[in-house]
Amino acid sequence: MIDVTERAKQKLKQILSEKIDDPVAGLRLSANDKGELGLSIDIEASNDQVVEYEGSKVLLVEEEMAASLEGLALDVVDTSEGPALTITQVT
């Protein structure tokens, strides 16, 4: 499973609270057919691994995908456009 920093959990919760008002929904990390990762709003499935923050399900990752993300971390970097989520290699 991907490691999620505290700052990334805070950012995910912020995104959720700005986009939806459904307490059972979370952000799903998934890959498109080009292998690019992205987030979408979804509800938890039975085979998901879930990251929670302050009582909210902030990140949903399908079990098979979670295994392929071992050694990676979801974090936040400061850019000229503001804080942005990024995935990095854990060292």
35 three-state secondary structure = coil
Nearest to 28, CA basis, from 46, 48, 55: 48
Residue-range domains of the chain with CATH = 3-89 (2.60.300.12)
5-32 confidence digits (pLDDT tens) = 999 999 999 999 998 888 788 999 998 8
Average pLDDT over residues 61-82: 91
Q: Is the pLDDT of residue 36 over 90?
A: no
pLDDT score of 22: 81
Q: Is the pLDDT of residue 62 over 80?
A: yes
Residue 23 near residue 40, CB atoms below 8 Å: no
pLDDT score of 21: 80
pTM: 0.86
